[in-house]
Structure 1
Amino acid sequence: MSDQTRRPHPPGITPDDAARIDIIGLTKRFLTPKGEVFTAINDVTLTVEPGQFCAIVGPTGCGKSTTLAQVSGLEHPSAGSVSVGGQIVDGITDGVSYMFQADSLFPWKTVLGNVMIGPVLLGTAKAEATTLAMDWLRRVGLSGFEDRYPHQLSGGMRKRVAMAAALINRPRILLMDEPFGALDVQTKAIMQTELLQLWEELRPSVLFITHDLDEAVALSDRVVIMTTSPGTVKNVFDIDLPRPRGDVQQIRHEERFLELQGQIWESLRDEVTRAYAQTAGVAA
């Protein structure tokens, strides 16, 4: 299977429709170690249009990662539904790549081996998978590091490997759970700019979780605010900054960026304050 070859879409579903995410009345409950029912998210309803970059922000513990897990099919809803491309998610979702906060590279594989594993699992011949992986390492600026192992790389370089591995199969959906959260400010800005450039080329639909409000505004077409646990959608803000956006560091000084950031913070601040009060045992 070549880099341009895509698996067939379900009958009646166009390539664009296949990248649409519909979350309707999504609720997820867990049993605590004490046997009590804990509701992580409650009645979450959200649509991500094909090719849209959507960021989700909210206080710690509001269910952002839980929402991504439902879209990926790694977990199943307690109530409500998730559809991708018009198909209800009832298992691992086809055509989806997931980039986690923690390094998810195989430590015993080289950089090249980590990036080419996706095409290999899809049945691509090893020689072709190697060529594809070499090209993606070039795109993320890691040519010459093919034979290194993850422990021999910096944090930023490991994230570049993870990003190449997530994008090499040209996913229709890209799920990103605080992928740059552990990076220093300078490296994070570089990675954000690189992500935007690659996204502009491939245009998958993106659900991007972050605690960094500036990051959310700089990258996204839409920012979703989730409430304190149990998480649900509080507000949705459309980000009308023009694309392509170029260097994210420059975007953050633009007047419209500052206006949007201020509006979103007004909505988010109460939820962050409430979540802090809950964890500190203080009445909100």
Structure 2
Amino acid sequence: MADDSQRPSALREGAEDAARIQITGLTKRYLTPKGEVFTAIKDVALAIEPGQFCSIVGPTGCGKSTTLAQVSGLEKPSEGSVSVGNHVVDGITNGVSYMFQADALFPWKTVLNNVMMGPVLLGTPKREATDLARDWLRRVGLAGFEDRYPHQLSGGMRKRVAMAAALINNPRILLMDEPFGALDVQTKAIMQNELLQLWEELRPSVLFITHDLDEAVALSDRVVVMTSSPGSVKDVFDIDLPRPRGNVQHIRHEDRFLELQEQIWESLKDEVTRAYAKTAGAAA
């Protein structure tokens, strides 16, 4: 099979275009239970290039998850647009996988059946889907656990199942909403390393939401800072740490990592303080 360098340039460019995300003037409003209009995000403008790993950080309630919902097509914008592969998103976006903070696994299905669900829904024959799921469970270190149920696994193991289920269809875009937020520090570091290794192999465009600034810098090509509510893009930082990055625990001690972290925190801390003051005032 020819590698990417041997494919016609038009085909390579077409594949790349399919993974480009363009967010333009994106605004989302909701009605509160009291019937008031609440603006979650306002005039968000952002481009995620093909194969780029982009993290979004910002204070609680700034609209990070809302932004992901617009990209996925799970919600429609009030104003503005999202384009994926030069096509305006209007409904569920094809070729996109979503990994949530909470376990999105079927508790009544085995690990194997959870992972093979994606290929089966896409029409893959059952035997082929089974073999593919077994291979992905091996790749995430869960060979031998195919017949277990989610409640029989640790938190980190369930995240591995979720990661295999998200990547098995070789998505062009991977949306991740604080996927490791509930894990302990040690398990989190392991999952970050595994994610980077798998991402290096497949190179989907990634939009990753996190409250962990260290995590954002360690994983990403770019880090986007959002303002307090209503959320908009305040700053975008290019992360020029070399790839592949290997062990994320090691690079966190490098001088350049610490410089980038400090720069981003200088932008982020004012928004966190502003958001905290709003909630404290509301509580009072």
> Which secondary structure does the structure 2 equivalent of 1:108 belong to?
coil
Aligned to 1:3: none
Matched, 1:53 2:53: yes
- What SS does structure 2 have at the residue aligned with 1:15? helix
Q: Does residue 146 of structure 1 match 2:146?
A: yes
Partner of 2:3: none
In structure 1, the gaps of 5 or more residues are: 1-10
| Unaligned 5+ runs, structure 2 | 1-10
Corresponding residue number in structure 2 for 1:6: none
- What pairs up with 1:160-179 in 2 under 5 angstroms? 160-179=160-179
Per-residue Cα deviation, 1:186-225 (whole angstroms, up to 9, x for no partner)? 0000000000000000000000000000000000000000
| Aligned partner of residue 236 in structure 1, secondary structure | strand
**Mapping of residues 1-284 of structure 1, within 5 Å:** 14-281=14-281
SS at match of 1:14: helix
* TM superposition shift of 1:249: 0.2
Question: If the length of structure 2 is used for normalisation, what is the TM-score?
Answer: 0.95
Taking the aligned partners of 2:125 and 2:115, their CA distance within structure 1 comes to 14
For 1:4, the equivalent position in structure 2 comes to none
The code of the aligned residue for 1:278 comes to: K
> SS in structure 2 opposite 1:16?
helix
TM-score (norm 1): 0.95
1:148 partner letter: R
Change (3 A) 1:42 1:117: same
**Deviation for aligned residue 1:12:** 11
Q: Report the alpha carbon displacement of residue 68 of structure 1 after superposing the two structures with TM.
A: 0.1
Measured in 1, the distance between the counterparts of 2:13 and 2:206 equals 19
Letter in 1 for 2:228: T
Q: Distance in 2 between matches of 1:160 and 1:277?
A: 37
Cα RMSD (Å):
1.3
- 1:35-55, Cα deviation, whole Å (9 max, x unpaired): 000000000000000000000
Deviation at residue 70 of structure 1 after TM alignment:
0.1
Greater share of helix residues, 1 or 2? Answer: 2
Q: Which runs of 4+ in 1 moved over 3 A?
A: none
Report the Cα distance in structure 2 between the residues aligned to 1:88 and 1:264, rounded to whole angstroms.
Answer: 31
The alignment covers a number of residue pairs equal to 273
Percent identity (aligned) = 85
